[in-house]
Chain A
């Protein structure tokens, strides 16, 4: 698996997190994308039991067995299983990627993810908010504005320290590119500088992206959002313990 494919996966996996949008002639931007608009909502939904199983497959059973599981409905995510270890497993859809991501509306994206307690408390609320607004039919600029407002009113939490997310499912579909998948861990940091972890440098096992956008040109409003980076470390096994192909 080529490194640029890993990066592509990461960009999509990054979706599992949550971000904001901004405004700009979004129509012009989206027209160049393979998925310019939202597909019928049915295409994003899954059988409930299958979604629970897929969500749990993001992490080893020792973690996901006792995790809460949330599933997507027509109006947003809802709790399907109440856990007891503070972790939350779920299946992200394409719109959890940066708002200018080309696969934002890709209905095939199924990104299984298990968030540790700090991430569940401080990252997941952004995903809920974004999902509810988009499913209610709001445009990307409207969603961006709403999230910005929620941040300013402290209705959305600040990032906690020690956030980790497991994305080790063998069954995820993270991108149309390459093998579509790869096991990895993600870490959320408030710093602006990839270099602090030596990310994205030749032979570094660490990749990072801005949480909010691929290019701030697409949605300049995102410039004013709190700095947030996502760091990814590829691991060598799937959640079931079987070896993953080298990346």
Chain B
């Protein structure tokens, strides 16, 4: 199942990692019927920019997100709504970059993420490019092909040292497969053996997923609290 199983680079959320395999596969048939193609663009947009900014910022503690750049989705792609000053970039990603395959076109998906500067230069650029292509009417296969080619030509950066993001929002909607992600952090590396981090082994607090096409390995670590400081378990 080529890239579909791995999905876009942002499809590496903790929850997705958790449900990968059984849950996704079990629901795939129904979900494909439910969201067979892109919905009208309006369904992916948030009518109130203030709400989208607030949701984006909820991905990390206020101490980080209040000084972050914030992107919001427009009809042609993500646009800067708030200029930042600490290098972090917060965004509410949509289904085509941040949901399991069955929810690829689910217009209800809203995934708040705050990327640090290193991840904003690598991971986020891939996701915004993917979004631009999707909104321009490309198919999922065409988008994959374009992204893989850009990665191979090094038009899209490899993962830089220390690339990571926060996904600690109490809000958002991960999709019908997984309605809400657990609070977690993600770390991005250029193709690394997950065993190097002990990821996915019994008892390990680290999960990982490798994307052979985009040459990225993502590690996810659950954390104890939501971004507002309340306990998450």
B161, CB-defined interface residue at 8 Å: yes
Nearest CB on B from A160, distance (A): 10
| CB–CB A235/B196 < 8 A | no
**In the bound complex, how far is the Cα of B188 from the Cα of A6, in angstroms?**
26
Q: B64 to chain A: which residues have CB within 8 Å?
A: 198, 201, 204
Name the CB-closest residue of A to B226.
A203
Contact of B224 among A63, A195, A234 (CB under 8 A): A234
B61, CB-defined interface residue at 8 Å: yes
Name the CB-closest residue of B to A204.
B61
B233, CB-defined interface residue at 8 Å: yes
**In the bound complex, how far is the Cα of B225 from the Cα of A156, in angstroms?**
38
Stretch at the interface among B2-10, B94-102, B147-155, B201-209: B201-209
Q: Encode B45-66 as 1/0 by CB contact (under 8 A) with A.
A: 0000000000000001111100
Q: Encode B145-173 as 1/0 by CB contact (under 8 A) with A.
A: 00000000000000001101010100000
Stretch at the interface among A100-108, A130-138, A237-245: A237-245
**In the bound complex, how far is the Cα of B197 from the Cα of A83, in angstroms?**
16
| CB–CB B198/A116 < 8 A | yes
**In the bound complex, how far is the Cα of B193 from the Cα of A161, in angstroms?**
12
Contact of B61 among A60, A164, A203, A246 (CB under 8 A): A203
B134, CB-defined interface residue at 8 Å: no
| CB–CB B161/A237 < 8 A | no
Given contacts A162-B197, A198-B166, contact A62 B61 (CB under 8 A): no
| CB–CB B203/A203 < 8 A | no
The bracket for how many chain B residues form the interface is: 35 or more
B28, CB-defined interface residue at 8 Å: no
**In the bound complex, how far is the Cα of B194 from the Cα of A63, in angstroms?**
12
Q: B198 to chain A: which residues have CB within 8 Å?
A: 59-60, 62-63, 87, 116, 164, 166
Q: Encode A189-203 as 1/0 by CB contact (under 8 A) with B.
A: 111000111100111
Most buried by B among A87, A189, A202, A203: A203
Could you tell me which residues of chain A, from 169 to 208, have a CB within 8 Å of some CB in chain B? 185, 187, 189-191, 195-198, 201-206
| CB–CB B223/A205 < 8 A | yes
B91, CB-defined interface residue at 8 Å: no
Given contacts A85-B195, A198-B116, A236-B222, contact A191 B203 (CB under 8 A): no
Q: A239 to chain B: which residues have CB within 8 Å?
A: 203
Nearest CB on B from A246, distance (A): 6
| CB–CB B164/A202 < 8 A | no
Name the CB-closest residue of B to A240.
B203
Q: Encode A36-71 as 1/0 by CB contact (under 8 A) with B.
A: 000000000000000000000001111100000000
Q: Encode B97-134 as 1/0 by CB contact (under 8 A) with A.
A: 00000000000000000101110000000000000000
Given contacts A161-B161, A162-B196, A201-B63, contact A185 B205 (CB under 8 A): yes
Could you tell me which residues of chain A, from 118 to 135, have a CB within 8 Å of some CB in chain B? 118
| CB–CB B203/A241 < 8 A | yes
| CB–CB A62/B205 < 8 A | no
| CB–CB A116/B161 < 8 A | no
Name the CB-closest residue of B to A164.
B197
B86, CB-defined interface residue at 8 Å: yes
Q: A196 to chain B: which residues have CB within 8 Å?
A: 87, 116-118, 162
B interface residues with partner A (beta carbon < 8 Å): 60-64, 86-88, 114, 116-118, 161-162, 164, 166, 168, 185, 187, 189, 192, 195-198, 201-206, 221-225, 227-229, 231, 233
24 A-B pairs whose Cβ atoms sit less than 8 Å apart in the complex: A60-B202, A61-B202, A62-B201, A62-B203, A62-B204, A63-B204, A86-B196, A117-B196, A164-B196, A164-B206, A190-B161, A197-B116, A198-B60, A198-B116, A201-B64, A202-B61, A202-B62, A202-B63, A203-B227, A204-B61, A205-B224, A234-B223, A237-B203, A247-B224
